[in-house]
Structure 1
Amino acid sequence: MTFDNKVIWITGASSGIGKALVLELSKQNCKLIISSRRETVLNAVKNESQQPTNIKILPLDLADYKTMPIIVEKAISLFGNVDILINNGGISQRSLIIDTDIEVDKKLMDIDYLGTVALSKALLPHFIAQKSGHFVTVTSLMGKFSSPYRSAYCGAKHALHGFFDALRLEHNKDNIKVTMICPGFVNTNVARNALIGDGSTQNEQDTATENGLDVDVFAKRMLKAIKKQKFEAYIGKGETKGVYLKRFFPKLLHKVVLRSQVR
């Protein structure tokens, strides 16, 4: 699979992984729809790209998931179709379970899970009608195993795997592909923007994220996984080994994570 002449829709495109994907894909022969809540920032990303004339801006708020059918109609009208949806938008969390208000759990599920699912379900009939389509969903290694201080985030990311694995099975007959991208630590603002127990933002970087994979390197690896139409891709540094420890040696993973003291 190549990106030539494809229409690719990217959520969470204003910063971090989403922005890196936009800048990398803008070098290729494809058209992009870029979405996030902040239209002014999206315009800045568009202007920074190599082929801004091939990029359309479509603001959306994943928390407002009841509006997704209307958003999808707008997206399709921009270039006439959509070939790939990259579900990248979302937020993270950093707080102990005992200190986390239930409204924080709800917000993570509303944005990271229900917003992503609602958008994908709204686009699904279009993919079925054209007998092709590719859902690419950025989850996390935390969608495969868990870590302290991320209970709400882990819950939402685990849920995404359950939903999209079912979608892949149900619509294999319609030539619809599903790729789950599971980042480890990537040097973005995800930790700074993470919610803490009372629902406010953390507003500080953590060491593991700071020392994570460069976001441009991550974007290139992610695009290779999409081209190969992988079911799942684990992209990071040594932390990706946790997926295999969870599968074969879960008690050992438990000890490793406890010793790591990741905050």
Structure 2
Amino acid sequence: MCFSDKIIWITGASSGIGKALAIELSNQNAKLILSSRNSKDLELVKNSCKNSDNVTIITLDLEDYNHFNTKVDEAISAFGKVDILVNNAGISQRSFAKDTHITVDKRIMDINFLGTIALTKAMLPHFIEHKSGHFVTTTSIVGKIGTPLRSSYAASKHALHGFFDSLRAEIYEYNIAVTLVCPGFVNTNISKNALTGDGTPQQKMDAATNNGIQPERFSKMMIKAIQQKKEEVYISGAKEKLGVYVKRFFPKIFSVMIRKLSVT
């Protein structure tokens, strides 16, 4: 797949993976629609892109998911259509289940799961009409395995796998692809912004996140997976990737491993 003149909508584009992805895709002459809650940061990303005239900004809050039809109309009108929707926005968690207020659990599910599928459903008629399209969703290695301090985050990412695996089968006849991208530790602000048990951000960088893959390198590997229309890809260090396969083939061993593992 060549991304030149492809129209790609990226959520969570103001920082981290989304920002790196936008800049790399702009270098490949894609036309971009960038979304997040922070319009000022989006402007900075736009100005970092190769051709800012081919970049449109649409502010979007995944928690406010009852009005996404108007956002989709706005995105389509920017360049006449959308070829790829990258569902990249989300929020993480750093708290034990016993210490996490149910309102925090709900907020994580609203943002990571319901907001993402609401935007996907709003975009779906456009893809069906054109009999083409590609949903790319950033989940997590924790969408395949559950780890301590991330109970609802893991649940939200597991839910995305269930939804998009089902959707992939339903829309195959319309020539619409679904790619699930599962990052391990990536050096972004995700751990700083992660919600603690009372809903406040953690406001510190985890050691594992700090030592994670750089977003620029990650974006290149993610773009390769999009080009190949892979159904699911794990982009992570060896230990995170190993965890997925141990969980699949040796679940009891994995249970012992994960109890002893430092995941901060």
Common topology (TM > 0.5): yes
| Displacement after TM superposition at 1:254 (Å) | 1.6
Does 2:225 align with 1:192? no
Counterpart position of 1:15: 15
Counterpart position of 1:2: 2
Q: Indicate the SS of the match to 1:234.
A: strand
- Structure 1 residues 24-58: Cα deviation after superposition (integer angstroms, max 9, x where no partner): 11101210000000111100110111111110001
| Displacement after TM superposition at 1:199 (Å) | 0.4
Does 2:120 align with 1:120? yes
Which segment drifts farther, 84-93 or 42-51?
A: 42-51
The 1-side partners of 2:167 and 2:77 are apart by: 25
Counterpart position of 2:153: 153
Counterpart position of 1:245: 246
The 1-side partners of 2:171 and 2:2 are apart by: 21
The 2-side partners of 1:133 and 1:157 are apart by: 22
| Displacement after TM superposition at 1:259 (Å) | 2.1
- Structure 1 residues 51-99: Cα deviation after superposition (integer angstroms, max 9, x where no partner): 1111000111000000111100110000000000000001000000000
Counterpart position of 1:236: 236
Does 2:212 align with 1:212? yes
- Structure 1 residues 91-140: Cα deviation after superposition (integer angstroms, max 9, x where no partner): 00000000000000000010000000000000000000000000000000
Counterpart position of 2:226: 226
The 2-side partners of 1:117 and 1:139 are apart by: 12
The 2-side partners of 1:248 and 1:103 are apart by: 35
Counterpart position of 1:170: 170
Q: Which runs of 5+ in 2 are unaligned?
A: none
The 2-side partners of 1:70 and 1:16 are apart by: 26
Counterpart position of 1:25: 25
Counterpart position of 2:46: 46
Counterpart position of 1:81: 81
The 2-side partners of 1:163 and 1:256 are apart by: 28
The 1-side partners of 2:263 and 2:45 are apart by: 32
The 1-side partners of 2:144 and 2:251 are apart by: 12
Q: Which amino acid aligns with 2:106?
A: K
| Displacement after TM superposition at 1:141 (Å) | 0.4
Q: Which amino acid aligns with 1:58?
A: I
Q: Indicate the SS of the match to 2:121.
A: helix
The 1-side partners of 2:260 and 2:102 are apart by: 28
Taking only aligned residues, the RMSD between alpha carbons, in angstroms, comes to 0.7
- Say how many residue pairs are matched: 263
| Displacement after TM superposition at 1:168 (Å) | 0.3
| Displacement after TM superposition at 1:258 (Å) | 1.9
Counterpart position of 2:259: 258
| Displacement after TM superposition at 1:4 (Å) | 2.2
Moved over 2 A (4+): none
- Structure 1 residues 176-222: Cα deviation after superposition (integer angstroms, max 9, x where no partner): 00000000000100000000000000000111101111111111000
Q: Which runs of 5+ in 1 are unaligned?
A: none
| Displacement after TM superposition at 1:262 (Å) | 1.5
Q: Which amino acid aligns with 1:242?
A: G
Q: State the identity as a percent.
A: 57
Counterpart position of 2:66: 66
| Displacement after TM superposition at 1:225 (Å) | 0.4
The 2-side partners of 1:193 and 1:67 are apart by: 25
The 1-side partners of 2:73 and 2:263 are apart by: 42
The 2-side partners of 1:153 and 1:2 are apart by: 34
